[in-house]
Structure 1
Amino acid sequence: MRSLFLQAPSFDGYDGGAGARYQMKREVKSFWYPTWLAQPAALVEGSKLIDAPAHNLSFADIEHEAKQRDLLVLHTSTPSFKQDVRTAEMMKALNPDLKIGMIGAKVAVDAQGSMAASEAIDFVARNEFDFTIKDVADGVPFASIKGISYRNSSGVIVHNLDRPVLENMDSLPWVTPIYKRDLTIENYFGGYLLHPYISFYTGRGCKSRCTFCLWPQTVGGHNYRTRSIEHVIGEVKYSMKAFPNVKEYFFDDDTLTDNAPRVEALARELGKLGVTWSCNAKANVPYSTLKVMKENGLRLLLVGYESGNQKILINIKKGLRTEVARQFTKDCHALGIVIHGTFILGLPGETRETIEETINYAKELNPHTIQVSLAAPYPGTFLYKQATENGWFDNSADLLTEDGEQIAQLSYPHLPAAEIFDAVEDFYRRYYFRFSKIKDIVWEMLRDWNMMKRRLREGVEFFHFLRHRKEAA
């Protein structure tokens, strides 16, 4: 089929790409690559990928595609689902013969509800969907395709058997040729990554059991399945030629450092290529492994610290002790590895005292940059189950405001949602408005004119974010 893979138009500045851990507008505008859409697109000959939010495209910009395509595959999420349904309905109105399917965590955990939401949706692909979508695009009858839910000729929603989890990760084609063909890579950026950057996965799944984390509990699973080193290096070599202006490669595996021997072997091969790279990491990587990574081109680690309170870390099954995280951070600082630290407020066990503890913990660890999020109970996660059973949900049933900004959805008898929401701004102000941190950022700007322009832009966006939160409160 003539197939279109689409990240639909949404809120201005909304980061809905499947590479984004949480779909929302951020304090500083950023866009992640739609890797989970690019992967099945790479399997389908003659496909096209459109990432509307990152390319500032409206529905009017893409509606002509409806009549040129036989198949439309939409990535959706819990926050964007209503908007994505509207897009599906508008495209179906333009071309009633267009087959429309959805992929993503939202439909993986609620296939029945997702299908029932609109007759414009012909099918949803559950769980790991790459070869499921290939079967659809190849014209295999719906009744014979594992891993889909669909509406049969009588209008009845049918759920086929699950598709087995993919074990041979090298059977997946590279995604970067799809980036080259269909995306403008300069449109993808993050506050802590060099620009422009390239991001893709070297494996799927995460052995950690964090109760809030969406992808391992809904699509990727807890078995970390990896591509061969040769397969990954081949894609990096291709990217070096295809994108000579790229300054950094980010490996978006949930935790690349879970397999220390493999990440050391990968690092040594990357070192031979002379590329700068970064990845997600758990705050427990030993010094010896960090040293190998740093000596072979590692620049930055994205680290989920989440909380400075040990009881909360136990509550969310983080599998990490604060003293281990402290030593890891000291080792990174000693080796010159930059850290972007992420923290979450409002997790089970949160109190006014633990919020204060986490703010002080962040200041002690002193990552170069931070992200502070509100606990997000996405359907399909253990956190969502806990919140439902304990009545923690606030009045709103949505994860985002109508503008696409995150809402404090969890509320506790001792700590209301409004107070958790306000604590995010307090956290940012107390972290960044320190003399030592201001000095670090100014020095970074003075050394690089491009960084100067970038940080000034981000500063404007950050202050706008703070002002908007105050108005919304």
Structure 2
Amino acid sequence: MMKALFLQAPSFDGYDGGAGARYQMKREVKSFWFPTWLAQAAAMVPGATLIDAPPHRLSFKDIEADVKAHDFIIIHTSTPSFRSDCRTVSLIREINRDAVIGFIGAKVAVEPKESLEACPGLNLVCRGEYEDTIRELAEGKPWPEILGLTYRDTDGQIHATGERPIREDMDELPSVLPLYKQLKVENYFGGYLLHPYMSWYTGRGCKSRCTFCLWPQTIGGHRYRLQSVARVVEDVKFVQREFPQVREIFFDDDTLTDNHERVEDLARALGPLGVTWSCNAKANVPRKTLEVMKANGLRLLLVGYESGNQKILHNIKKGMLVEVARRFAKDCHELGIIVHGTFILGLPGETRETIQETLAFAKDVNPRTLQVSLAAPYPGTFLYDQAKANGWFASDVDLLTDDGTQIAPLDYPDLSHTEIFDAVEEFYKKFYFRPSKIAEIVGEMLTSKDMLVRRLREGVEFFQFLRTREDMIVS
């Protein structure tokens, strides 16, 4: 078995590249998600080392000793971080010439040959569900015999093996949680989650067909494959035993509520454990299911509303009715379930009028907190192909500035990318700078000293975020 290092490489300050960060970027309020996809690969290799540099504020100098000490190095990359990760590969090559270096992630899953050509020091990339590919590599199996692999041979020629079948039995995957012992849990936080929290997946895939959503279209697929409730309970008990400081568990499945019967069974199993938990949800969960979840420890739902315009929701194949989302929000408010809502500006069909319609919708459903993102056409998604076919890209396909701030890459005939970019700031201000919302935030701050300190810090970060955007507009 090779001596393996699994690395989320150093990047710009505030880079959030963990699994739950659907958009790998610097955020309006700093957050860090656990590197679940990277940890899942590491869990396949006994004795593996896991390093997540950004939340631990590690530079390359800080990890040099680890880089030298391993002969198999796997880096999780993404479209926004790819260039930076390639620079890391070059630095590794300078001090560890013989190491086998590979990339995993959605970027290389859909552009394997192009990724190897762009990164000369790279030996290989893994496609699809790569856990068993990683295991076989670490065991020393001949590369031509390993499915799901694109690699460079000793002559510099690039080869691709056959596709690896998707995994059916999710209980067979080893838990990522023991690997989290190598991380400092307190370094991971999100503005809407209790601190410290912990997150991982209990299943893979999402039956929704949202045109912009990266993971189901590149790695996870659209069939939701589940761990057994018993397995999830076993992992939760491990957290309670080994990480007593954790105050909340976030199940990071793309949509945990896709299977109503299973999420109800899971909630009933979690209830007796006394654990506080949250998850991703679609805004169509029946009230009956919400009641069961709330009664058994659910605190918060992260809900992708995306838009308040029905035509845009149809355009992105969201499979959601605005009125159903309104009823869902009303049920959550009445049941005392906190909602963090996410919205995207610049999706196909966006106009100045639909932006205002979505803002009005956001005020109406009134999530406790929200995130407003810019439409990000990642390679491998339907939205990316659609944007290329229609000539919507404003310039290059870059999604971020060099310091990690998200840009608006799409231009429409009647709505420019600069207008879309500017609308994000307006959206935030008009949502949060309402007397009722300010009173709600102040009331929350008065509940505890910890919350007061936290919200003040986040307020400073939020205004710095707005200032950075204003500077970009001026320049």
Q: TM-score, with normalisation over the residues of structure 2?
A: 0.99
Aligned to 1:10: 11
Aligned to 1:239: 239
What SS does structure 1 have at the residue aligned with 2:402?
Answer: coil
Q: CA RMSD in A?
A: 0.6
In the alignment, is residue 431 of structure 1 matched against residue 431 of structure 2? yes
Letter of the structure 1 residue corresponding to residue 189 of structure 2: F
Letter of the structure 2 residue corresponding to residue 5 of structure 1: F
What SS does structure 2 have at the residue aligned with 1:6?
Answer: strand
Report how many aligned residue pairs link the two structures: 472
Letter of the structure 1 residue corresponding to residue 447 of structure 2: R
What SS does structure 1 have at the residue aligned with 2:370?
Answer: strand
In the alignment, is residue 336 of structure 1 matched against residue 336 of structure 2? yes
Superposition deviation, residue 154 in structure 1? 2.3
How many angstroms apart in 2 are the aligned matches of 1:184 and 1:286?
37
Structure 1 alignment gaps of length 5 or more: none
Letter of the structure 1 residue corresponding to residue 353 of structure 2: E
Contact 1:5 1:41 in 2 (8 A): yes
What SS does structure 2 have at the residue aligned with 1:219?
Answer: helix
Aligned to 2:319: 319
Q: How does 1:45-56 map to 2 (within 5 A)?
A: 45-56=46-57
Greater displacement, 261-270 / 13-22: 13-22
Q: How does 1:322-471 map to 2 (within 5 A)?
A: 322-471=322-471
Aligned to 1:72: 73
Runs of 4+ in 1 over 6 A off after TM superposition: none
Superposition deviation, residue 66 in structure 1? 2.2
What SS does structure 2 have at the residue aligned with 1:43?
Answer: coil
Q: How does 1:27-426 map to 2 (within 5 A)?
A: 27-180=28-181, 182-426=182-426
Greater displacement, 58-67 / 105-114: 58-67
Letter of the structure 2 residue corresponding to residue 2 of structure 1: K
How many angstroms apart in 1 are the aligned matches of 2:220 and 2:302?
19
How many angstroms apart in 1 are the aligned matches of 2:119 and 2:409?
26
Contact 1:203 1:226 in 2 (8 A): yes
Superposition deviation, residue 119 in structure 1? 2.2
Contact 1:19 1:36 in 2 (8 A): no
Letter of the structure 2 residue corresponding to residue 463 of structure 1: F
Superposition deviation, residue 391 in structure 1? 0.3
Letter of the structure 2 residue corresponding to residue 369 of structure 1: T
CA deviation map 1:115-154 (0-9, x unaligned): 1112211000001111110111111111111000001222
Contact 1:54 1:187 in 2 (8 A): yes
How many angstroms apart in 2 are the aligned matches of 1:397 and 1:359?
27
How many angstroms apart in 1 are the aligned matches of 2:19 and 2:59?
19
What SS does structure 2 have at the residue aligned with 1:268?
Answer: helix
Question: Share of identical aligned residues, percent?
Answer: 66
How many angstroms apart in 2 are the aligned matches of 1:225 and 1:234?
18
Q: TM-score, with normalisation over the residues of structure 1?
A: 0.99
How many angstroms apart in 2 are the aligned matches of 1:467 and 1:262?
45
What SS does structure 1 have at the residue aligned with 2:166?
Answer: coil
How many angstroms apart in 1 are the aligned matches of 2:98 and 2:207?
42
What SS does structure 1 have at the residue aligned with 2:54?
Answer: coil
Superposition deviation, residue 245 in structure 1? 1.1
Superposition deviation, residue 244 in structure 1? 0.6
Superposition deviation, residue 234 in structure 1? 0.1
CA deviation map 1:183-203 (0-9, x unaligned): 000000000000000101000
Superposition deviation, residue 438 in structure 1? 0.4
Contact 1:66 1:92 in 2 (8 A): no
How many angstroms apart in 2 are the aligned matches of 1:222 and 1:136?
27
What SS does structure 1 have at the residue aligned with 2:43?
Answer: helix
Letter of the structure 2 residue corresponding to residue 304 of structure 1: G
Greater displacement, 111-120 / 370-379: 111-120
Structure 2 alignment gaps of length 5 or more: none
How many angstroms apart in 1 are the aligned matches of 2:329 and 2:165?
39
Letter of the structure 1 residue corresponding to residue 20 of structure 2: G
How many angstroms apart in 1 are the aligned matches of 2:245 and 2:68?
36
How many angstroms apart in 2 are the aligned matches of 1:63 and 1:18?
25
Letter of the structure 2 residue corresponding to residue 220 of structure 1: G
Superposition deviation, residue 397 in structure 1? 2.6
Letter of the structure 2 residue corresponding to residue 160 of structure 1: T
CA deviation map 1:216-246 (0-9, x unaligned): 0001000100000011100000100111111
How many angstroms apart in 1 are the aligned matches of 2:277 and 2:65?
39
